[in-house]
Structure 1
């Protein structure tokens, strides 16, 4: 099989391989890449000679650093339909991965952020390595954790997902497993051997067979910092307003709480409040589809949010890392400003 230049589609034994091939851009996703991946998944699902699918990133730096933020930024400024089309196709792909009928193995080696989490953490077999650096960093660019993260993060133990969503901090392999965003840690040097071992499984191989192969090659991920300090995270981030969380953090001792508070203070106040409300709604939701529908409505609202354009300017375009948020403080972001992000997209992605 063949993909496009930026997505290599091939067969190896009984495995279908999808390789993201945009290493110079940390394998960040474009619309053609999303379509190529979705098409390949459909073909592999229908092919009785394919037992499993393996998704990996080319190069040694990243699995996938997320979506093409510049495209979304430029589309929003022009008022074109490209951004909405991108989100609709990406979110449908996330949903397809979560409901894939065959074992779906994601090799999360290197940087795995934003859309990369959507490509991996919804899968049935999520492999991290000693090089994994995973994050949902969207509050730092005036955005919010999407790609179904409002379903995934609330299902992490305690408030670990709340901490990830608000701070956008990067976590390692042990933390990713603790947060239920990954399953096993395999040494990066063993990934080629892992692919070979999965590819020689019989066509009738079950998910349990794939699990046995991966677990047989898994190595200890080390201690999770999030697990070690979970009591503090659960205490301080259990509140339903960002203001209360910040106040609770001041009552905690130690560097972790102070670092968390300082980080939150640098993020877009609008994004922080939107993210927390979406995470709390996601915790009460019955399905990933429900969360993706809600996220799409919020995405369309983001296109009218000045913080998104300012955040992308500061992080991606000018790279001065000095965004000027508007409003600049949590106190200035009222409930009405957040409610406008909860207008449902029409048509919805999925019928509920």
Structure 2
């Protein structure tokens, strides 16, 4: 297998381009170098007549598969955000360009979403033409835990979930498995984890006459349903369909008969109050956007996450508490949902750039 770098392995076998994320000690968390490698490889294969389709997987400490990708490298984000490293800006611009390329890729792009698939891992799989989950899939957009928002196109793909599921997943960061992922339009097919290697190798061995044939082959060897029953969304819709964050937390805290309501209220109380307001607005705006417009909005938002209030970044503080000092005691500002002024969260939706100079202005549908 050829290397782009040690963290991203790529090769062409038969008529398919194969990518393996190879940073298992970090659960394949995406560095700027990995983003650049992926973007360069996909652009090269996009115009290569030998390559009819692309397949991507992760690796674990036990070998290939096991986990897909845990997200972006948050330690890098904390350090860069704390020191003014300009590579922070490069990371988000280039990562979102990669997400857009995957969403608009002209060839089948097949994502083997085994194990942990979170944050940036969702960004490099949700735009796939085939999103394959296993019984081991643990899927989430947990950014509010670190004072961020579900980026990498999260506004776009979460807002396409049924009912108020997108609001629920975005605000809480809750984790779902294969059956829920399929029911919520976040996956297309199920494959037992033990059968992934055989399908991967079969893609290399078949004689395909076009990209559609590759896609059809994968569909024929996967299932449309996963074991287990997807959860009912009645409670989710009742609460997360409410118009405001305050209304949601009030409804949850008033429901003493539901363990889910009490646990969800407690979880939301631990999130950045400011970012809960930002995230709710993001999901609801994104419902009427195409993916390029959503990614441009998210690029505006992430700039504000680090620079809206110098020295008071919710994201830097959230990562510090979770992954750097590990005290799990972030000092959010404002500290309570009840104290978030409207002007503060609305500022996240004012672009710092004129449209013609936006770093993602070239993205098209």
1:61 positional shift:
4.3
Q: Which residue of the partner structure matches residue 153 of structure 2?
A: 148
Alignment of 1:227-246 (within 5 A): 228-246=231-249
Equivalent position of 2:205 in the other structure: 200
Given candidates 273, 279, 285, the residue that maps to 1:281 is 285
> 1:185-206, CA deviations, whole angstroms, 9 ceiling, x for partnerless residues?
1111111111122223434333
- Per-residue deviation at 1:327? 0.9
Over the residues paired in the alignment, what is the CA RMSD in angstroms? 1.7
Task: Report if the CA contact (8 A) 2:208-2:214 is conserved.
Answer: no
**What is the alpha-carbon distance in structure 1 between the residues aligned to residue 287 and residue 177 of structure 2?**
24
How big is each residue's C-alpha offset from its partner over 1:216-272, in whole Å with a ceiling of 9 and x where there is no partner?
3337412344xx321111111112310011122245542222222221111110111
Greater Cα shift, 107-116 or 72-81: 72-81
Residue 266 of structure 2 corresponds to: 262
Verify: 1:350 aligned to 2:353, yes or no. Answer: no
Question: Unaligned 5+ residue runs, structure 1?
Answer: none
Residues 75-154 of structure 1: pairs in structure 2 closer than 5 A: 75-154=80-159
Closer, same or farther: CA 224–165 of 1 in aligned 2, 3 Å: farther
Following superposition, the deviation at residue 273 of structure 1 comes to 0.7
Point out where structure 2 has 5 or more consecutive residues left out of the alignment. none
| Alignment CA distance shift 1:345-1:62 (3 Å) | farther
TM-score, normalisation: structure 1: 0.94
Q: Report if aligned partners of 2:99, 2:153 keep a CA contact under 8 Å in 1.
A: yes
The aligned residue for residue 9 of structure 1 is: 10
Contact 2:108–2:214 (8 Å) recurs in 1: no
| Mapped partners of 1:20, 1:67: distance in 2 | 13
Deviation of the 1:321 alpha carbon: 1.8
Q: 1:299 aligns with which of 297, 302, 305?
A: 302
* 1:56 aligned residue: 57
Deviates more, 1:306-315 or 1:150-159: 306-315
- Residues 53 and 214 of structure 2 are in contact (CA less than 8 Å); yes or no, is this contact kept in structure 1? no
Kindly indicate whether residue 319 of structure 2 is the aligned counterpart of residue 312 of structure 1: yes
Aligned partners of 2:189 and 2:222 also within 8 Å: no
2:111–2:130: 8 Å Cα contact kept in structure 1? yes
Could you say if the C-alpha distance between residues 224 and 151 of structure 1 is closer, same or farther in structure 2, counting changes exceeding 3 Å?
farther
- Offset at 1:126? 0.4
Q: For 2:126 and 2:81, locate their aligned partners in 1 and report how far apart those are by CA, in whole Å.
A: 28
Equivalent of 1:248 in 248, 251, 266: 251
The question of whether the paired residues in 1 share the 8 Å contact of 2:141 and 2:173 is answered with yes
How far residue 333 of structure 1 moved from its aligned partner, in angstroms, is 0.9
What is the distance in 2 between the residues matched to 1:81 and 1:273? Answer: 27
Q: State which drifts further: 192-201 or 110-119.
A: 192-201
**Cα contact 2:182–2:225 (8 A) shared by 1:** no
User: 1:38 offset after TM fit, Å?
Assistant: 0.8
Q: Secondary structure at the match of 2:221?
A: helix
> d(CA) in 2 for partners of 1:96 and 1:231?
35
Question: Corresponding residue for 1:26?
Answer: 27
Task: Find the aligned partners of 1:18 and 1:209 in 2 and give their Cα distance.
Answer: 16
Deviation of 1:330 after TM superposition, in Å, equals 1.1
Compute the displacement of 1:27 (Å): 0.2
Point out the more displaced range, 208-217 or 168-177: 208-217
Q: Summarize the Cα distance change of 1:345–1:63 in structure 2 as closer, same or farther, 3 Å threshold.
A: farther
